[in-house]
Amino acid sequence: MARRFVILGLILGLSALGYMTLGAVGSWSFLIPFRGAKLAALLLTGASIATATLLFQTITANRILTPSIMGFDSLYMAVLTVLVFTLGASGYAALPAPLLFFLNLGVMSALGILLFLALLAGGRGDMLKLVLTGIVLGILIRALSSFLQRMIDPSEFSSLQAASFARFTHVDPLLLGLSALVSIPAIALAWRMRHRLDVLSLGTEAATGLGEPPRRGQKQALVLICVLIGSATALAGPMSSGFSGPSNFLGLIVVALARMVTPSFRHAVLLPSAILVSGIVLIGGQTVMERVLHLSTPLPVVIELVGGLLFLVLLLRGSRQ
Amino acid sequence: MITIRGVSYEIQGQPILRDIDLDLPRGGVTALIGPNGAGKSTLLSLIARLKKLQSGRIGVDDLEVGKCSDRDLAKVLAIMPQSGHVSARLRVGELVEMGRYPWHQGRPGAHDREIVAETLTRFSLDALRDRFLDEISGGQRQRALAAMAYAQGTDYLLLDEPLNNLDIAAARHLMRLLRDMATGGGKTIVIVLHDINFAAAFADRIVVMHEGRIAADGAPETIITQDLLTGVFGTDAEILTLGARPVVMV
C-alpha cells in the first residue's frame, strides 16, 4: 500500500513538473507565479471535489453518487444566469471577484442547510429522502435558470455559456487564497473524521451498535461537503457541463480510481489516495490538453466523456453483483 | 441486569409494544420468541438504541438507554442487527476488528489485535480472514457479524434472528458458540428466534411475546405447552418430551 502511495505521489509530481515546464515561452519570473497559481487552483479544486465525493458516497452508502446530484452545479448556473440576466454581461464582468466568490459559497451552503433541515424534518428521515429532495431541487433550479436563459439576449447568452465551464486559464490569487482558507480546514476536518467515517460506512445499525450515532456524523459530513463543493465551484466553475450533468464525473472518476489503486474501506487510505488521483487527473489532464495536444477544449468536457463511460461500467458491474 | 419499565412503542398510531415490564438478569441465554409482528425485534432494537424510545425506560446495569453516552453503552452492550447488510467492501478480519472500535476509536493496539485473533479462531474464521464479505456464503457472513459483536467485548450480547438463512449445520454451530459464551464466558445473551425448537434446545429462559405484550416467561420446559401453541401461535402442532426437553412436531 505504501508503495502505491509513493507511485501516486511520483506521478503527481511529474504531472506538476510537466505542467510547470512544458511549452514554456517567455521569462521564468513571469511563468512561475502565473502557472504556479493555476497549479495550486487545480490541486485545491481536485482535493476539495475528491474529499466531498468520498464523504458523500460514505454517508449515502452508494458508490455511484456524487454531491452534484444534489443540484450544486445547477445552483452555480442559476446564480450566474440571474446575475447576467439582471446586470447584463458587462455588468456581470464588472462585479468584484471576491463578492462573486462569497455569493456562490453562501448560496451553496444555504442549499446545503436547506437539505439538512429537510433531513431533520422527517424525524427519522433517511439519506435516500435527502438525495431525492436534492435531485428534485436540482431539477427545479435547472428549469428556472434555463427559463431565464431563454429570455437573455443571444450575445449575452454566449458569454454566459463561456463562463459555465470550469476553467483554469486565469486564476485570481485573491480567490485562490480565499478558497484555500475555506477548503483546507474543511479537508483537515474530514481527515479528523476518518475513523468515524469507517464506522459510518458499515451502515447505520452497525454504527449505532459501535457507539457512533450515524445521524450526527452524517450531518457533519454534509456540512463539509457543502462547504467544499461551494468553494471549489466558486473558484473554478462547475466541474460538470452546467446544462446537463446529472453527476459530477470528476469526483466519480477519482474516487472509483482511488478504490481500484488502493483497495481499502478505510478513509485513512481512501482520502489521501482520492486526493492524489484527483490531482493527477486534473493536472495531468490539463498538461496533456494544453501543452501536448494544444487543444482549447475545456478539460471538463473530456472528463465528462470518460466519466460517462466509467459511470456505465460501474452501473453494469454493480447490477451483476 | 437489563430493566425494562413501562415501554410502549407505536408506528403511525399502530401499537407495536404495550407497556412492557421485563427484567433480564445477568448471565445465561434468553430467547425472545413469538409470532410474526409480536414486537420481539422492536423490543431488542429499543434496548440497543437502534430505535428511539417513545415512552418508558430501559436500563442496562447502571446506564440508562437514550440518556447515557453512546460510547459507554457500546462497551457494555453489543447488537447483531437483523439486516446484516454492510455497504462497505471489507474483509472478514477488518470487520471483526471494527468490533473493537468502542475501545480503540480507530487506533487498535496490541490488546485489540489479540482479541481479534482469538475471536477469529473461536468462530472458525481464520481461513476466511482475508476474504471479502461479498465473496463468502450467507452463513459465513452471519458468523462474521456475530464475531464482530463478540469482539466488542461486552457483557451483554443481543442478536436479532441470527439464524435467518442459515442451514442446520451453520445454525447449530452458531447456537453452540453462543451457548459456550454464556456458560463459559459469563456473557448475557438475548436472542430473537423464530424456531421454538432452537429456543428450547439452547436457551435457559424463554420470553414469549404476543401482540406487543409479554405472554409468558420462564424455563423452556414450563413455557412450551399445547396452550402456548394454540393461544399464541394459533397452531395445533403436537409437543413431545425427549429427555427433559420439549420438542414441537412441525
Q: Is residue A71 part of a domain?
A: yes
Range of weakest confidence among A169-183, A242-256, B55-69: A242-256
Domain hosting B114: range is 85-153
Q: Determine whether the interchain pair B88/A211 forms a contact, defined as Cβ–Cβ distance below 8 Å.
A: no
When divided into structural domains, chain A yields a total of 1
CATH number at residue A269: 1.10.3470.10
- What are B58-71's pLDDT values in tens digits? 999 999 998 999 99
pLDDT band at A321 (very low <50, low <70, confident <90, very high): very low
Residue B19 sits in the same domain as residue B38:
yes
Give the pLDDT mean for A167-183. Answer: 83
Q: How far apart are CA B206 and CA B213, in angstroms?
A: 14
Residues of B in contact with A265 (CB under 8 A): 88-90, 94
pLDDT at residue A119 in the model: 64
In a mutational test of the A interface, the residue from B42, B46, B60, B70 whose CB has the highest number of chain A CBs within 10 Å is B70
Q: Would you say residue A124 has pLDDT above 70?
A: no
When divided into structural domains, chain B yields a total of 2
Written in H, E and C, the secondary structure of chain A is CHHHHHHHHHHHHHHHHHHHHCCCCCCHHHHHHHHHHHHHHHHHHHHHHHHHHHHHHHHHCCCCCCHHHHCHHHHHHHHHHHHHHHHHHHHHHHCCHHHHHHHHHHHHHHHHHHHHHHHHHCCCCCHHHHHHHHHHHHHHHHHHHHHHHHHCCHHHHHHHHHCCCCCCCCCCHHHHHHHHHHHHHHHHHHHHCHHHHHHHCCCHHHHHHCCCCHHHHHHHHHHHHHHHHHHHHHHHCCCCCCCCCCCCHHHHHHHHHHHHHCCCCCHHHHHHHHHHHHHHHHHHHHHHHHHHCCCCCCHHHHHHHHHHHHHHHHHHHHHHC
- What are A231-250's pLDDT values in tens digits? 888 887 766 543 333 346 78
Q: Is residue A280 part of a domain?
A: yes
pLDDT at residue A151 in the model: 85
Closest-CA distance, A211 to chain B, in angstroms, reads 4
Residue B66 sits in the same domain as residue B165:
yes
Q: Is residue A142 part of a domain?
A: yes
CATH number at residue B159: 3.40.50.300
Q: How far is CA B92 from CA A195, A205, A209, B119, in A?
A: 18, 18, 18, 11
Secondary structure of residue B119 in the 3-state scheme: helix
Residues of A in contact with B152 (CB under 8 A): 209-210
Q: Is residue A88 part of a domain?
A: yes
Q: Is residue B61 part of a domain?
A: yes
Give the pLDDT mean for A243-259. Answer: 71
Residues of B in contact with A263 (CB under 8 A): 89
Residue B149 sits in the same domain as residue B174:
no
Q: Would you say residue B75 has pLDDT above 50?
A: yes
Residue B4 sits in the same domain as residue B115:
no
Closest-CA distance, B70 to chain A, in angstroms, reads 4
Q: Is residue A251 part of a domain?
A: yes
Q: Which of B153, B177, B208 is the last residue of a domain?
A: B153
pLDDT at residue A320 in the model: 47
Q: What percent of chain B has pLDDT over 90?
A: 65
Residue B196 sits in the same domain as residue B107:
no
Residue B169 sits in the same domain as residue B106:
no
Residue B68 sits in the same domain as residue B94:
no
- What are A69-100's pLDDT values in tens digits? 777 777 878 888 888 888 888 888 888 888 88
- Residue A211: which of B74, B83, B88 has the nearest Cβ? B74
